[in-house]
Structure 1
Amino acid sequence: MVSEVVSKAERFRALHHGRVPGEPLVLPGPWDAASARVFVDAGFPALATPSAGVAASLGYEDGATPADEMFAAVARIVRAVDVPVSADVEGGYGIAPKELVERLLEAGAVGCNLEDSDGGVLKDAARHADWLAEVRGAAGGQLFVNARVDVFIHGDSDPERAIERAALYVAAGADCVYPIGAPSDVLPLLRAGIQGPVNVLARLDGPSMSELGELGATRVTFGPGLQRRSAEAVRETAVGLR
């Protein structure tokens, strides 16, 4: 099992490198096994679960999913597909780095999103970087660590501050940086200032995937956007049935 996870982790990591502008890695966010199969059948080479989308599928508000239920949901998604799956595990649920890594690997995840805010407040960047370094040390090469930078949703939206925090996280061993909520017009500045892959949040009514790639995105994710679009489609169908 471990060798299989490492192999998938290597495949997942390789997908982030050697990409040309305009062709970012697009990672749909499945919220359950059925949606995961739909995305894989559509041809996507990897997936990245959204914590808010999974929470909605389990009947919780965003940020309120118990850790055990989140890991169980990730495990069900992983079992349903044969492509690498990265897991959004929010701020790590207060779990010590070694145990957090063990639980992610046990669920079959090859990567993780880790937030740098708590309760809507940015964490101390240096202390968070130290924590990320512990996660990296425990994971070795078995997990692709995507370090979320929350300056644009819980901070002052200063791109330079986002770049400073990103530099600390990359130095700590993060494989990718995720300045969630960054406006598209600051993406070129972020791309120029951040070393390594950059994850950009896409909106279904926003710039296209190729446009985001041209602006600096290495990879594109959707947060809970696809789950919410699906829920809206079900709602419209339900109304039509009455």
Structure 2
Amino acid sequence: MTDPSSGTASKATQLLGLHRDPTLLTVVNVWDVISATVVADVPGTTALASASHSIAASYGYPDGENIPRELMLEAVERIVKATDLPVSADLEGGYGDPAETIRQAIGIGVVGANIEDQMRPLAEAAANVEAIIRAAEAEGVPDFVLNARTDAFVKAGDRDPADVLKDAVERGKAFLDAGAPVVFVPGRLDEAQVTTLVEAFGPQKLTLIGIPGIPSLERLEELGVARVSYGPMSQNVALTALQELVEDVHRGGGVPSTMRILN
């Protein structure tokens, strides 16, 4: 069990406070030590979050719990050890045992996590949330920031958007009732949908992914959103820059004059 007075418990409380603050928390996701160090060193960065898709890709695995849990946690542990900031980990659906996965994550210093519901039956998904919260409390980290994710929009297909939004509200409220402090609803949501979710969950309870097409960060803060993260987008931005460098080299150019020496 983690000592409640330990750095892990304290960082969990710190991370929870960042979510509860009316100021929107933004986290640009990282996938290894160098990306974590670069992001952490940017003024204004208050927390880090790993991206499961990006970590899996860096090891040659497709997304979707194909990377072994042990390897995922090893990568996350390296990130945790590289910074003094609180770290939240994207742990997909929990690798078949969400509570145990969170217990192991807390053991390496993780103080928050995304866990997908993968549109399991609602009772099962809510029970997983409750088990995770109990596991965190048993480990001495009662303020662990479970970012309970519903895939209502991700797996919506061609369903009526109104029905999808209704599902997201129902599932998110069930997760909050089960003890999750915040609910993650990824998708290209418009202002009306965001407003409905915030009204259903309460202010500073909804987290979103920062993809093109959603309202501005300023507007999301005004609406009462707790957090915006960027998932695999940050790695895609980095890889786009690398690809553009290669293309420019092939044209006879070289590194851009705006390049920074970061390591």
Q: Same fold (TM over 0.5)?
A: yes
- Equivalent residues in 2 for 1:24-103, closer than 5 Å: 24-43=24-43, 44-63=45-64, 64-95=66-97, 97=99, 99-103=100-104
What's the CA shift string for 1:179-232, capped at 9, x where partnerless?
111512311111111135110110257543213223442100011001101011
- Residue 12 of structure 2 corresponds to residue 9 of structure 1: yes
Number of residue pairs the alignment of both structures matches: 234
Separation in structure 2 between the aligned mates of residue 104 and residue 93 of structure 1, nearest angstrom: 12
What's the CA shift string for 1:26-54, capped at 9, x where partnerless?
01101111011111110201011111111
Separation in structure 2 between the aligned mates of residue 165 and residue 10 of structure 1, nearest angstrom: 25
Q: Secondary structure at the match of 1:87?
A: strand
What's the CA shift string for 1:8-35, capped at 9, x where partnerless?
111111111131xxx4100110111101
Partner of 1:187: 194
Q: Secondary structure at the match of 1:151?
A: coil
What's the CA shift string for 1:86-144, capped at 9, x where partnerless?
000000001262x2232111221101100010xxxx20011110121011111111521
Aligned CA distance change for structure 1 residues 134 and 206 (closer, same or farther; 3 Å): closer
Tell me the TM-score normalised to structure 2 length.
0.84
Separation in structure 1 between the aligned mates of residue 224 and residue 165 of structure 2, nearest angstrom: 14
Separation in structure 2 between the aligned mates of residue 192 and residue 12 of structure 1, nearest angstrom: 23
Partner of 2:184: 178
Separation in structure 1 between the aligned mates of residue 103 and residue 148 of structure 2, nearest angstrom: 18
Separation in structure 1 between the aligned mates of residue 98 and residue 166 of structure 2, nearest angstrom: 30
Tell me the TM-score normalised to structure 1 length.
0.91
Structure 2 portions without partners, runs of 5+: 251-263
- Residue 114 of structure 2 corresponds to residue 113 of structure 1: yes
Do 1:84 and 1:109's aligned partners in 2 also have CA atoms closer than 8 Å? Answer: yes
How big is the alpha-carbon RMSD for the aligned residues of Structure 1 and Structure 2? 1.7
Aligned CA distance change for structure 1 residues 206 and 194 (closer, same or farther; 3 Å): closer
